[in-house]
A and B are shown apart, each in its own frame.
Chain A
Amino acid sequence: MLKEFADYITYTLLKLESTGHLGEALNFFIYDTLKIFLLLTTIVFGVAIIRAYFPPEKTKRILSHKREYLGNIMAALLGIVTPFCSCSAVPLFIGFVEAGVPLGVTFSFLISSPMVNEIALIMLWGLFGWKIALIYTGTGVVLAIVSGIIIGRLKMEKYVQDYVWEIKAGTGEIVETTFRDKLVYARDYTAELLKRIWPYVIIGIALGGIVHGYIPTDFVVKYAGRDNPFAVLVAVLIGIPLYSNAAGMIPVVQALVGKGMAMGTVLAFMMSVTAISFPEAVILKNVLKMRLIYTFFGIVAVGVIIVGYLFNAIL
């Protein structure tokens, strides 16, 4: 139905040639914009209701004094449903550590929560299909579990800023909410999120349209295709400074895939965009010493690169 609507606008109403660059690019743009915003609105609302049941306070209580393995697994899974914003990373980190959540388990949460988020999932699902979205989720969770276990094993507690260990936090009682409150929360959450990301999505889809209509396939295949062994590495490096624009990245990447970019490279790139970011490093400096920040980013970056090569080999 969306396809027919996009066809109607471009080819019937505007009378553009369906074989021309402009017609193709515009058709692509209208169709994708409608699809993405439809998906975003409905699914973010649904996810927000689930999120309302998992405030960070509850997650903290569940993870408190959990052991290695089980703790890491639960932290990575709870990371999917617990709302997270890098602006709150510091109080969250202190709260977790203070409540007796082991350092490695805390990191499993800190890695999974921003990486496996609903925006990335919806965009991947809408533009690449549910299989890729599921692979992204599964790999992201495994990466968070393994990285957390490694950081836990490295016994890096001494690289947490000293004052963190001295803080005695309040109990942080959970604010009781009714189902009605949760619906209001979901509505406000959806509205706020759309308001924040819509320009990136539009720009991303427009750029994707341009790539789709104008960039030659040989060019993409040569630089981002399966046969370029450095593609994954470069994609991960480019992804590190790109942060809040995750929503805008996926449409561009989708167009590149249409032109021959390899799927493993795409997954590695997306994970790098969402899981590793400079602003987060700056924020985390409040609670972590540089050595731990480097270790954290290093482990995740290596993991993401492995994911990229792995899926380039099997997909």
Chain B
Amino acid sequence: MEIKVLGPGCANCHKMEELATQAVKELGINANIEKITDIARIAMHGILSTPGLIINGKIKHSGKPLPSLEKVKEMIKAEAV
């Protein structure tokens, strides 16, 4: 599974990455988490407000406030099938 966390390095972007890492760990899923901090590349992915979360090429979340850990797990599970 391909997970992308997109954000230029704000506090919320770090939290988003932690959430994704934690969710993957708790679900025991084999996933590759990539962090994208370059502003042009963030825009290229169609993210308008950061932080963004993209799973298998689909935008699952963008902007503040951040989703809960449970919500992130649900998003990952939905793509894992």
Contact = CB atoms under 8 A, between A and B. Distances in A.
B65 interface: yes
Interface stretch (A29-37, A82-90, A124-132, A248-256): A82-90
Given A92-B48, A92-B49, A85 B43 contact: no
A6 B68 CA distance: 38
A91 interface: yes
A98 B65 contact: no
Nearest to A172: B46
Contacts, number: 81
Q: Is the interface on chain A under 10, 10 to 19, 20 to 34, or 35 or more residues?
A: 20 to 34
Interface in B28-81: 39-40, 42-50, 58-66, 68
Interface stretch (A184-192, A211-219, A222-230, A260-268): A184-192
B10 A173 contact: no
A91 B49 contact: yes
Interface stretch (A67-75, A161-169, A199-207): A161-169
Contacts of B44: 167-170
Nearest to A94: B43
Given A83-B49, A85-B49, A88-B48, A95 B64 contact: no
Closest 5 CB pairs of A and B: A172-B46, A170-B46, A94-B43, A188-B65, A56-B48
Interface of A: 55-57, 60, 83-85, 87-88, 90-92, 94-95, 98, 163-164, 167-173, 175, 184-185, 188-189, 191-192, 286
Interface of B: 8, 10, 39-40, 42-50, 58-66, 68
